[in-house]
Amino acid sequence: MTMPRLIKSLQSLVKKVIKHWQIEGLWKTFRVIVHVFYIRVFYTHGVEPFYDWCWGIQTRGITTSEQLGLTDPQCIRYQPVSYGDFKRVMKHVKVRAGEDVFVDYGSGKGRVLIMAARYPFRKVIGVELSAELNVIAQANLERTRKKLKCNNIEIITSDARQYSLPTDVTFIHMFNPFVGEVLVQVLQRVHDSLLAAPRKITLLYTHPVNFEPIAPQFPWIVKQGEVICYRVSKCAIYECMV
């Protein structure tokens, strides 16, 4: 960031703080500052790199659509889910050891795959459009494999729209990987899989801002609850059944 831009950002930040102070009072403003500091500085630059370092992997950072060569604006760039947020959500679900099968749609550099494989899933699958990200994910997996509970991990390079969801999948995770028509088509594939083999699928949807407005179109996806997250708004937990 250049010096003039930094000064401009600081000026705008100070203005925002003063405005917030005038409207909400000193105590609330102080709490917001502490919260923002915790998330932006401590969490993003402290905790997240620490976890990557502990695992010996590289999953941080944003890879833009241009860098990934994603031409469809409905397919979203790479940004990993927060370690803490995913762990928090997993406390609200029960994994049947050796039975449940987990899929992360848009698995990126494999952070969620590694986190999920710490639970006793029978299989963990990543579906990712970018072959480049999958090379990184594979390298990350090789470095952590010995420390994981589930060793049956598969990474598939595919557009999620073309991927036939296996009939034994019982957990799905999405961190806002696609929106609009792409999302609708992928959910249609989930529905097809349910029709082929009726069962319950738990859908963990991190930051479901693009799903919530269209959720009424999918009466077979029923909300069970939501978990407040630090890095994004929330993760919603749904039950999918036909």
- 48 burial class (0-12, 13-18, 19+ CB within 10 angstroms)? buried
In the list 101, 129, 155, 183, the residue contacting ligand SAM (rule: CB under 6 A) is: 129
Distance CA 102, CA 116 (A): 8
In the list 111, 124, 125, 153, the residue contacting ligand SAM (rule: CB under 6 A) is: 111
Instruction: Report CA torsion sign: 160, 223, 101, 232.
Output: positive
Angle among Cα 178, 179, 183 to the nearest 5 degrees reads 80
Residue 177 contacts ligand SAM per CB under 6 A: yes
Nearest distance from C-beta of residue 129 to ligand SAM, angstroms:
4
Residue 89 contacts ligand SAM per CB under 6 A: no
Sites for ligand SAM among residues 15-44 (CB under 6 A): none
In the list 80, 89, 201, 229, the residue contacting ligand SAM (rule: CB under 6 A) is: 80
Residue 205 contacts ligand SAM per CB under 6 A: no
In the list 117, 182, 183, 194, the residue contacting ligand SAM (rule: CB under 6 A) is: 182
Nearest distance from C-beta of residue 110 to ligand SAM, angstroms:
8
In the list 104, 136, 205, 238, the residue contacting ligand SAM (rule: CB under 6 A) is: 104
Alpha helices, DSSP H, located in the chain: 3-24, 26-36, 48-55, 65-68, 83-90, 111-116, 131-144, 180-196
